[in-house]
Amino acid sequence: MSFSPVDYKRISDLIDSAQLRGSEIVSHISNMEEDLSNSEVASDNVDKLRLSNTITRNQDTLRRRHEIKSREILNLVKNLQKYIVDNYNNVNTYLSSNNIKVLAMFAEISEEVGYPIESSNIDYGPGSYEEIS
């Protein structure tokens, strides 16, 4: 049974993007809270207090849901890489022989679940440390 390199690349890019978007959500909400705190609206304004309290109360939940890698994402990557190893012997060989470069966040997740990806198979993106060095 073969697994299309196009499908692998698409899945790995989507996982990478989803994980990065989660971090962006948390960052934007933190910035919004700071902007709200520094705004010219009076500190005792009921609407300002309500919004600020809601953000503060929910920040841990937001981080857990949108920034920290979920068990589901970790399991998906682990099982994807296990499938590649079971059918193609080695993740890095599969990637290089199919000219696939995974994005950095996906590589990080893959390593976290026990399947390290060699830097030659990682696309660090423009301006990244790896690209510059």
State pTM to two decimals.
0.73
Domain residue spans in the chain? Answer: 5-132
b/e per residue 81-97 (b: at least 16 CB within 10 A): beebeeeeeebeebbee
Per-residue model confidence (pLDDT) at position 120: 96
CA atoms of 54 and 56, how far apart (whole Å): 5
Predicted pLDDT at 56: 83
Element of type H or E holding 123: strand 122-123
Nearest Cα residue to 99 out of 80, 123, 130, 121: 121
Q: So what's the pLDDT on residue 2?
A: 64
Write the pLDDT tens digit of every residue in 94-103. 999 999 999 9
First to last CA, the chain: 39
Weakly modelled stretches of the chain, pLDDT under 70: 1-2, 126-133
pLDDT for res 132: 35
Residue type, 48: K
